[in-house]
Amino acid sequence: MTRTRAQMLANQHKQSSPPSEKEPAAAPTPRAKGRGSEDDDPQAQHPRKRRFQRSSQQLAQQMHTSTRQTREVIQQTLAAIVDAIKLDDIEPYHSDRSNPYFEYLQIRKKIEEKRKILCYISPQAPQCYAEYVTYTGSYLLDGKPLSKLHIPVIAPPPSLAEPLKELFKQQEAVRGKLRLQHSIEREKLIVSCEQEILRVHCRAARTIANQAVPFSACTMLLDSEVYNMPLESQGDENKSVRDRFNARQFISWLQDVDDKYDRMKVCGEQLLSPAGGQTSVGPRLEPSSKTCLLMRQQHEAAALNAVQRMEWQLKVQELDPAGHKSLCVNEVPSFYVPMVDVNDDFVLLPA
């Protein structure tokens, strides 16, 4: 019993001794008293939460201050850059980033400068220009009364029966359409040749005036579709096509037009060799535009005549099977089924 009691007393002594030792260290201070008063107050906020709230507010204020300072620095830098740059000295096509609106204005300005150099040039009229179809306007027009008089219409022979007269009128209407088509094609070829001659004279007049392009509506329309800066080479400024132009070159231009429309052109015929390469056989004659037109019209007239002769033969055999059973196509009289006459005596240019 004595040992047990002694242990109990020792334990009580150990439990009561630490507070007595720590009392001098835990001396209350004014700040600690304040905290203690807040801890004693049940409605006061926890110190840790209050300390965290104060730190977040400080961080937010610091971030706001730094952001404002950064914005002020950026604005000052941009203002200094704008003040230092002169907009008139900017070369937009030498910078990586350029204003597209400024580029377009520069393109239009460049085109306007080129357009100021252009002038209207009156070319010299070609020989016998007063007799040109383009000038007189004597070509066929749809709806023009005088145009119908140029196309001949053949009346049916009086010796034909009524069914054959009706067939003749039907075939004559088809032949009239072919005559009209051939006449229009010939006049188109004449007008095309006259336009080529006029272009040659206009080209010669521009060459003498040292002007590359004509001052026309087509040039204006072409310039309105330019979206890139026109490139300029230094050699083009000092180059003059007028220095190389002479009468011999002008005559060669006219000769090229004559060869294209009215004469046979000589060219080398190219054939494929067995090895796969091209070998020149020799010169050959290539038909001109007029020759090709006449050959095609003659072929169309012959083909139409053959078809109409066959129709005439079938119609005659249908009306009189016994009398015309052995009628051949070549035996049909030409005045019953005439062939469309192809006029190959027309001239492209007046002499």
Question: For tokens 């007063």, what's the residue?
Answer: 130
Structure tokens at 37: 């008063």
pLDDT at residue 192 in the model: 93
DSSP 238-299: H--GGGG--HHHHHHHHHHHHHHHTSPEEEEEEEE-TTSSEEEEEEEEEP-HHHHHHHHHHH
Per-residue pLDDT of the chain (351 residues), as tens digits, is: 455 666 676 676 556 554 444 444 444 454 544 455 444 454 555 555 555 455 677 788 888 888 989 989 988 888 777 676 655 555 555 555 568 888 888 899 999 998 888 888 999 999 999 999 999 988 888 777 777 777 888 999 998 889 999 999 999 999 999 999 999 999 999 999 999 999 999 999 999 888 888 998 999 999 999 888 887 654 455 556 666 788 888 999 998 888 888 765 544 444 444 444 554 444 555 678 888 999 999 999 999 999 999 999 899 888 887 766 677 878 888 889 999 999 888 888 887
pLDDT at residue 205 in the model: 92
CA distances from 227 to 100, 118, 349, 350 (A): 10, 20, 42, 45
Entry pTM: 0.61
3-state DSSP assignment of residue 159:
coil
Structure tokens at 188: 């188109």
pLDDT at residue 302 in the model: 96
User: What are the residue ranges spanned by the domains of the chain?
Assistant: 91-117, 129-229+242-267+281-331
pLDDT at residue 234 in the model: 44
pLDDT at residue 12 in the model: 67
CB 182 within 8 A of CB 340: yes
CB 156 within 8 A of CB 308: no
Question: How would you classify the pairing of strands 278-286 and 265-272?
Answer: antiparallel
